[in-house]
Amino acid sequence: MTEISSDVIRGYNDTMILYLLLDQPSYGYEISKQIRELSDGKYVIKETTLYSAFTRMEKNGYITSFSQVAENGKRRTYYRITEAGIQFYHDKCDEWQLTQEVVEKFITH
Amino acid sequence: MTEISSDVIRGYNDTMILYLLLDQPSYGYEISKQIRELSDGKYVIKETTLYSAFTRMEKNGYITSFSQVAENGKRRTYYRITEAGIQFYHDKCDEWQLTQEVVEKFITH
DNA sequence: TATATTTACTACGTCAGACATACTACGACA
DNA sequence: TGTCGTAGTATGTCTGACGTAGTAAATATA
């Protein structure tokens, strides 16, 4: 079966995460589930990939974090997208269009 | 201006090169020019990226190399795609379809 | 009640691919 | 004479993904 390799999705993990933060803050486990569901199980992000993406994006100023006790009594780290993050996300969407156009020229159907 | 980042194209450099080898053997400089032209200048592969891709793909059995003296009297290293390379290329094309479907869910237009 | 599973992470280390920088060498051309 | 185009090679660094492992609390199941 065809699978999505890490080399291919590399560079779009951040974009996917940011997309899921556009509406409201969220946290690791939730984001992970949403990526799996939205992609119909075709893509499952690794935990280490996800949490290192959070760290990187916070350092880059694309997200901010805050700790909060959830309904279930557990302490979670939530992430909120910043203005810079929104801008970055939109730039990535533009880049995706361009990438598609280019790669398509080298693909046979 | 929007540019294609190396993280995004990563995983498709090999595919692009193989595409250009489908019809006949070719060599670095020529491949490089063709990628630039076919992409309308939107993507220019770096020399180091290209030649290390040749080395990697030869090791993986996707291409074979032979040295030949060209019309201009210069010795060039040509590369020819193998059966395994053709198979790999087609697998990558399938993967591209899948990747597109997945990424699209996280992109706003 | 004991155990397994789900939730929600953190730490550490490795690897591959892209690329920056630099260098070689030859012919054409101005 | 020097620069541009052609056609590479060598070396080393960086980033993002991920393998492996461990922690800990809540919830479901036997």
Written as one string, the DSSP assignment of A11-29 is: TTHHHHHHHHHSSS-EEHH
Query: B1 pLDDT exceeds 80?
Result: no
The backbone torsions φ and ψ at residue A38, rounded to the nearest 5 degrees and listed phi first, read: -60, -30
- In chain C, which nucleotides are within 7 Å of a protein Cβ? 7-13, 16-22, 26-28
Residue owning tokens 């032979």 = B66
The predicted pLDDT at position A7 comes to 85
Mean pLDDT of the region A34-45: 95
How far is the C-alpha of A42 from the C-alpha of A4, rounded, in Å? 8
C-beta of residue A101 within 8 angstroms of C-beta of residue A82: no
Amino acid, single-letter form, for residue B79: Y
Which residues of chain B approach chain A closer than 8 Å at the C-beta?
2-5, 7-12, 15-16, 19-20, 38-39, 42-43, 90-91, 93-96, 98-103, 105-109
Tell me the CA–C1' distance in angstroms for B99 and D28.
Answer: 36
HSE of A18, CA atoms in CB hemisphere, 13 A: 29
The predicted pLDDT at position A1 comes to 57
**pLDDT grade, residue A8 (50/70/90)?**
confident
Q: For chain A, what's the residue count?
A: 109
Q: Choose among A5, A12, A105: nearest Cβ to B103.
A: A12
| Cα–chain center distance at A37 | 13
What does pTM read for this prediction? 0.93
Pair of tokens at residue B44: 């220019």
**Bridge-partner residues for B64, per DSSP?**
B80
- Residue-wise pLDDT for B59-96, tens only, equals 999 999 999 887 767 789 999 999 999 999 999 999 99
* Chain B neighbors of A95, CB-CB under 8 A: 2-5, 8
- Residue-wise pLDDT for A48-92, tens only, equals 999 999 999 999 999 999 999 877 777 899 999 999 999 999 999
* Chain A neighbors of B43, CB-CB under 8 A: 102
Q: How many CB atoms lie within 10 A of CB B50?
A: 17
Q: Choose among A19, A39, A94: nearest Cβ to B2.
A: A94
